[in-house]
A = this chain, B = another copy of it.
Amino acid sequence: MTDRAANDTLRPASGAGRPGAVADQLFPAEPGVRAIARELYGHAKDLPLISPHGHVDPAILAEDLPFPDPARLIVVPDHYITRMLASQGVPPADLGVPSLDGTPVESDGRVIWRRLAEHWYLFRGTPSRLWTERVFREVFGVETPFGPATADLVYDAIAARLQEPEFRPRALFGRFNLEVLATTEGPLSDLSPHAKLAADGWGGPGGRVITTFRPDDLVDVEWPGWADRVRQLGSLTGRDVSSYAGFLDALRVRREAFLAAGATCSDHGHPTAHTGWVSDVDALYRAALGGSTERAEEFRGHMLMEFARMSTEDGLVMQLHPGADRNHNKALFARHGRDVGGDIPTATDYVRGLRPLLDEFGTDPRFRIVLYTLDETTFTRELAPLAGGYPAVFLGAPWWFLDSPEGLRRFRETVTETAGFYNTSGFVDDTRAFCSIPVRHDVARRIDAGFLARLVAEGRLPLDEAAETIADLAYHLPRKVFRLEKNS
């Protein structure tokens, strides 16, 4: 703001309110409830972290090299951060986000870092602020408050830490008390980082670092290059993918490879929750190979049926993330491509969309599906009733824009009364920011503690059961829901 200086003499009355001071962070303010929350949190805070769904690059842990500079670690790959800066006129290129056509972008980490610091006030009240400042303090031990005046100081301190052996990925993995971390790969991935991890005793079935089967780019015929990727799938598996049957077989072959790399889950990011068999799927498939995208939505819905069927056979837990209008920001997409903050949520109909899938598999004891949403209106109206009715359905943690203190709180407030706690999946960090994992889980544990504390304070749940519940939510439930009980 123009006259920020006018307020420069303002100082906090005390240490209270400084995000660094996290002892009671995120707990309800009322002292009685806060005391209960603190006690409940004590039953969860030291439990190992289960990270069943995320986007950490497995090469990081396979190679265990030092992280790059602070800007490349914390700013460049984080679309929460780059989109907020873009929204106030700082182009992603000025933050080092790679361009599709190779146009040079900012390459000086320190310059990127200063740009972040200069606009740090934009993040007030956001989870990015919370996560980032706690990472500075708790992961890197940097207590200096972050801002324009201290940008270099913080940069240098973190950069120095990143050179130390205790800040290598595997060392941090141990320090974070991570029990198991699932990464996400497409069927065309050769999974070589996971092979290296297995060789080192870190990966494979039951391992500490495992993969997840994410076939979207082979299922979405509207995604440019689909037919080429299908051909690659054929080469990789030695299957004849000119027919739908061969395509399906090739996908099965890849699922086996993913199972061998420890996968316990598949993951599916679709524009909608539409499901349903297509009667002439071979014809549809061949037309798509010939370039037709007309029936893309039908094909995606059909493939969800197929993947559900495969899940009943091979036991992979299905995860569905529908409802993003991808690449909404045309200019951003043209310059920087996918997954850089241009996706916007849309209203999603789970009830009609999933009906065919649930009719066929919803009560099959071998099948399990975890549903995520960007559309909060579905929490009470659709998702809690579905999860509270079908044995196969679990509710995933609040996702993406909803993975935030208020989002997590509203999730429990809207879902619990119909689905209870035990039809939810436990927290999922869904992040590519490895260093933020412990903070994200801690935020979820604190919010759950606060919600449960309110139930206790309002005479709705005894304290002992609340304590048991928070431990279940933090640890036991995700292990069970995502079939990770052998991983440790």
Closest to A18 in B: B462
From A52-60, A136-144, A402-410, give the one contacting chain B. A402-410
- How many angstroms from the CA of A402 to the CA of B385 in the assembled complex? 11
Cβ-defined contact, B29 with A460, below 8 A: no
- How many angstroms from the CA of A338 to the CA of B40 in the assembled complex? 41
Cβ-defined contact, A332 with B477, below 8 A: no
Q: Of B24, B342, B377, B460, which one neighbours A377 at CB under 8 angstroms?
A: B377
Q: Of B7, B86, B386, B471, which one neighbours A344 at CB under 8 angstroms?
A: B386
Nearest chain B CB to A381 CB, angstrom units: 5
Given known A413-B406, A417-B126, A418-B126, contact A458–B25 (CB-CB < 8 A): yes
- How many angstroms from the CA of A207 to the CA of B477 in the assembled complex? 52
Cβ-defined contact, A421 with B1, below 8 A: no
Cβ-defined contact, B86 with A331, below 8 A: no
* A382: chain B residues within 8 A (beta carbon): 344-346
* A465: chain B residues within 8 A (beta carbon): 121, 124
Nearest chain B CB to A124 CB, angstrom units: 6
Cβ-defined contact, A463 with B16, below 8 A: yes
Nearest chain B CB to A59 CB, angstrom units: 29
Cβ-defined contact, B420 with A122, below 8 A: yes
Tallying the copies of this chain within the complex gives: 3
Nearest chain B CB to A285 CB, angstrom units: 27
* A43: chain B residues within 8 A (beta carbon): 7, 10
Nearest chain B CB to A370 CB, angstrom units: 14
A375 at the binding interface (Cβ < 8 Å): yes
A469 at the binding interface (Cβ < 8 Å): yes
A351 at the binding interface (Cβ < 8 Å): yes
Nearest chain B CB to A22 CB, angstrom units: 6
Closest to A15 in B: B462
- How many angstroms from the CA of A1 to the CA of B478 in the assembled complex? 11
Closest to A331 in B: B363
Given known A30-B29, A124-B421, A124-B469, contact A389–B344 (CB-CB < 8 A): yes
From A105-113, A177-185, A295-303, A354-362, give the one contacting chain B. A354-362
* A31: chain B residues within 8 A (beta carbon): 32
Chain A 429-488 interface residues, beta-carbon cutoff 8 Å to B? 454-469, 471-472, 476-477, 480, 485
Cβ-defined contact, A455 with B346, below 8 A: no
* A1: chain B residues within 8 A (beta carbon): 468, 472, 476-477, 480
Cβ-defined contact, A458 with B27, below 8 A: yes
Given known A17-B463, A126-B416, contact A345–B381 (CB-CB < 8 A): yes
Residue among A23, A124, A419 facing the most chain B CB atoms (10 A cut-off): A124
Cβ-defined contact, B21 with A459, below 8 A: yes
From A62-70, A221-229, A308-316, A322-330, give the one contacting chain B. A322-330
A414 at the binding interface (Cβ < 8 Å): yes
A132 at the binding interface (Cβ < 8 Å): no
- How many angstroms from the CA of A466 to the CA of B385 in the assembled complex? 34
Cβ-defined contact, B375 with A462, below 8 A: no
Cβ-defined contact, A87 with B391, below 8 A: yes
**Which residues of A are in contact with B by a Cβ distance under 8 Å?**
1-4, 6-7, 10-13, 16-19, 21-33, 36, 39, 43, 83-84, 86-89, 121-127, 130, 325, 328-332, 341-342, 344-347, 349, 351-352, 355, 358-359, 362-363, 365, 374-377, 380-382, 384-391, 393, 401-402, 404-407, 413-414, 416-423, 454-469, 471-472, 476-477, 480, 485
Given contacts A89-B365, A401-B417, 12 further A-B contacts (CB under 8 A): A11-B463, A19-B460, A22-B459, A26-B459, A86-B391, A87-B391, A87-B419, A122-B422, A125-B417, A130-B460, A328-B386, A347-B349
Q: List 18 A-B contacts (CB under 8 A).
A: A1-B480, A13-B463, A16-B463, A17-B461, A25-B460, A83-B389, A84-B388, A121-B465, A124-B461, A125-B420, A125-B455, A125-B469, A328-B358, A328-B389, A376-B381, A385-B401, A406-B414, A406-B417
